Amino acid sequence: PPAPIAVAPPEPKGTEDYRDYGINPVVDPAKDRLSTFAIDVDTASYSISRRKIMEGSLPPFSAVRAEEFLNYFDYAYPAPSKGPFAVHFAAAPSPFAKGRHLVRIGVQGKTIPASERKPIHLVYLVDTSGSMHAPDKIGLAKQSLKLLTSSLQKGDTVALCTYAGSVREVLAPTGIENKEKIMAAIEDLSASGSTAMSSGIELAYK
């Protein structure tokens, strides 16, 4: 009989997936002069695109988001002299459309010195599903959490939860004076299984 054809197992739930939300339409200020905006600090698009390029491929079209590229860099805006934030404006003729201008609006919040920061209670909720099984995924997440933990100070606490096929409390709230215990819990993380994100968020809140 002919040899059976090998069929690749289905990818675990939670693998990379991106959505193109399109471009917001132009709003005529003569008809609607009011505008609001979110304090959007997402930077993931730049990191994803850089990783894809470093691996020798182009990033998915839907993964490229201009606002997240802009957010990635530190523009060293001056801190506010008073109040919680300062707004910085810059404008220049557009190199893309004659007769138009590009306007950049930067918001810089007040910087709180580390000595004045109030104690914080952090809950690390980590995706440990199979789609995270790579050095630049679960490995990078662990490295980042260790870096964050190293920056904490007396009075701060850390808890650690994971979600994959099920959710699990890995570490109950632990004071930073037990940093070695926190670091060991982070180091012990590994990725496998499917994804159950909503219940993971519920556990993290609890």
pLDDT for the residue 11: 43
Q: Express each pLDDT in 76-89 by its tens digit.
A: 999 999 999 999 99
Q: What are residue 143's phi and psi, to 5 degrees?
A: -60, -40
Structure tokens at 82: 């008073």
Residue 25 three-state SS? coil
- Does residue 10 carry a pLDDT above 60? no
Pairing of strands 121-127, 101-109: unpaired
- Say if CB 151 and CB 176 are below 8 A apart: no
pTM over 0.85: no
**Which of the pair, 96 or 21, is modelled with greater confidence?**
96
- Does residue 205 carry a pLDDT above 80? yes
Number of H helices, E strands in the chain: 5, 5
Residue 157 three-state SS? strand
pLDDT for the residue 78: 92
Structure tokens at 141: 């997440």
Structure tokens at 151: 């920056």
pLDDT for the residue 156: 97
If you average pLDDT over residues 47-72, what whole number do you get?
91
- Say if CB 156 and CB 121 are below 8 A apart: yes
pLDDT for the residue 144: 95
- Say if CB 137 and CB 190 are below 8 A apart: no
Q: What is the CA radius of gyration of the chain?
A: 22
pLDDT for the residue 14: 46
What percent of the chain shows pLDDT beyond 90? 47
Query: Chain-wide mean pLDDT for the chain?
Result: 86
Q: Express each pLDDT in 158-181 by its tens digit.
A: 999 998 877 889 999 999 999 999
If you average pLDDT over residues 186-194, what whole number do you get?
83
